Structure formats: C-alpha cells, structure tokens
Amino acid sequence: MTNEYKSVADDMLKPKIKNAQLKATEIWNDFCDKKIPIQLNDIIQKLGIKIKSENLTIDGITRTSNNGICFILYSKNISVVRQRFTVAHEIGHIVLEHTSIFDDCDQFSEKSQNKEADSFAGELLVPSSDIKKFVKEKSPTIQNILDRYWISQGVAFIAIENNRLLNKIKT
C-alpha cells in the first residue's frame, strides 16, 4: 500500500469524536428539550428503538433486524448509572450509523466506533453547554454533578476534564 492510500485508510479508521459530540447535542436539543437529567426512554421511543435488559456477560449490544428495527440489549447485572451510559453508548452506535441490517460496517474499526459511541454517550448524558453553565452558576461538588446528571464518577471526571472545569469544582 502506498503512503497516499495508507493515509486515506488511516483517516477512515480514526474516530470522528467531534461529529459524535455534535450528534449528541443535536439529539439533546431535538428530543430532550434540553432537560437534565437526560431521559433515555424518551430518546429510545422517539427513535423507534426496542430495548431490553438481560443477563449478559457484556454491558450491552445493538442489533438491527431484517426489517430495520434496532434492538438494544443491556446487562441487568451492572449499576444503574452504568446501564445509563451503556444505553447511551448503544444509541450512539445507532445514530452514528455503526450498525446495519447486514452488520457490514467492517470498513470502520470497532475500536474507532466504540470511541465515537463513548464520546456520544458522554456528551449526551452531560451536555457541555449545560455543565459549563451549571459549574459557573453553582460551583458544584462532584456529588452535585453525579446527582444532577445521574452518571458515574468516571463519566463525571471525563466531562469535567473535557470541558476544562477541574479548577472550578468544589472539593
């Protein structure tokens, strides 16, 4: 493979993080009326997605039926905040078109798709514009952030770091 083709192939495999975050913001604006905490069931219903909790060995998975209906299965054996992130992540795979009837999305790397879905989920659950405003107005603690967005500490710290808010959070 020549360097020119290798560069194009490498670009196709890189996660499109900004695109994933913009899509999450679009979903929040269009389907959630900018309400916090995000009500994932509202999004699921509006997108026509079917969802079910199961005894899974993984956190979650998305499948598309032959008639184009997307199904999200998530583990009932994980915490509620992990379930929320997992469902948001799987919604990300759907809206970012990582899944298809034929499961033929091999042109993109699975690692890249998961990074995009993680970025989508993080931005959906903790919209940047909202956390920036919340931190500016309330000077919250980490616990205030966890309570407001119904998220785990890991998701909170990523949102805080991504939005450069670490020095503005009360300890």
pLDDT at 5: 43
pLDDT at 11: 53
Q: Do 99 and 155 share a structural domain?
A: no
9 in any annotated domain: no
Q: Do 79 and 47 share a structural domain?
A: yes
Read off the CATH number of the domain in which 89 is found: 1.10.10.2910
Whether 70 and 50 have beta carbons less than 8 Å apart is answered as: yes
Q: Do 73 and 55 share a structural domain?
A: yes
- Kindly tell me the sign of the dihedral angle through the C-alpha atoms of 147, 25, 95, 50: positive
Q: Do 39 and 61 share a structural domain?
A: yes
pLDDT at 112: 85
Which residue stretches of the chain have pLDDT < 50? 1, 5-9, 101-102, 104-107
Please name the residues in contact with 53: beta carbons below 8 A apart, sequence gap of 6 or more. Answer: 73, 74, 75, 76, 83
pLDDT at 108: 57
User: Range of 117's domain?
Assistant: 15-125
Is the bond preceding 37 in cis, omega lying within 30 degrees of 0? Answer: yes
pLDDT at 100: 57
| Residue pointed to by tokens 């604006």 | 29
CA atoms within a 13 Å half-sphere pointing along the CA-CB vector of 1 = 8
pLDDT at 84: 98
Q: Do 72 and 144 share a structural domain?
A: no
Tally of domains within the chain:
2
Q: Do 131 and 58 share a structural domain?
A: no
Q: Do 133 and 94 share a structural domain?
A: no
